Chains A and B, each alone.
Chain A
Amino acid sequence: MENNFILYEEAHVLKKLGFNAECYAYYHNKVEYLLVKGKRTTNNTIEDRYDSDCATPLYQQAFKFFRDKYNYHKDITFKASFGGNFEYIVTIQTIGKIVILDNESSYEEAELKCLKKLIGICKNNINKIK
């Protein structure tokens, strides 16, 4: 189940970038992963304690955040062909720019790579503005 959530490092960056949607879980003390059963939490409503605590978005929530807040879009193209060979090609579209990442062999790998790339692009753009 944990692989439905983005990793701590990315979750913490998203918190800094302003992610504040309701999540099913949060990271406590950087490493401990807590599932909030029966209720939801946001970065503003985490009951604790440490700055490092952060809500844990699903991958689909993280991508939605980038679409809604930064207008960054990603496509994952799945190609299934003869003999069971398949590949996932990730395309990221930001303002006036398209980035095509290497092919990945699994959807999950493609998503993780895509997320890291989106964060990188976002950080770069913010640094340019500063």
Chain B
Amino acid sequence: MDDNFIPYEEAYALKMLGFNTPCFGHYKPIHNPDKTLVTYNINEIQTKEGYAVSAILYQQAFPFLLNYLDDKCAGEDVYSICLYGDGSGHIIRNVIKIKECRSNKHMLKKLIKLCKK
């Protein structure tokens, strides 16, 4: 069931990118991020206390990153990102395939990397 959520490291990266929509859970505390607790979004609390990260669903993470990338790349590169049903896929930049991602976790990491560039 917890496979529905993205891993802690990526959730933290999304928080840094500005993700702040309601989630079903959170990772806490920061030094022991193994346990997902079902609760409501606490990003506002995190901002104040800085100790926890929202547990984000893959279906929340991908649209956020695609929108982020869209805002970022306007006027520069042309991206085509194909997400297969299981979250794997491939990334094409300016007609050239730059990455084949074999899993949803791999795809997530690559999209985060692109957004951070």
Contact = CB atoms under 8 A, between A and B. Distances in A.
A83 B24 contact: no
A107 B63 contact: yes
Task: Determine the interface band of chain B, counting residues with CB < 8 A from chain A.
Answer: 20 to 34
B4 A61 contact: yes
A76 interface: yes
Contacts of B40: 1
How would you classify the secondary structure of chain B's contact residues: helix, strand, loop or mixed? mixed
Contacts of A111: 59
Task: Determine the interface band of chain A, counting residues with CB < 8 A from chain B.
Answer: 20 to 34
Interface string A93-130: 00000000000001110010000000000000000000
Contacts of B82: 75-78
B22 interface: yes
B13 interface: no
Interface in B71-87: 71, 73-75, 78-87
B79 A79 contact: yes
Given A1-B24, A75-B82, A82-B75, A60 B58 contact: yes
B57 A60 contact: yes
A87 to B, nearest CB: 10
Interface of B: 1, 4, 22, 24, 38-40, 57-60, 62-63, 66-67, 69-71, 73-75, 78-87, 89
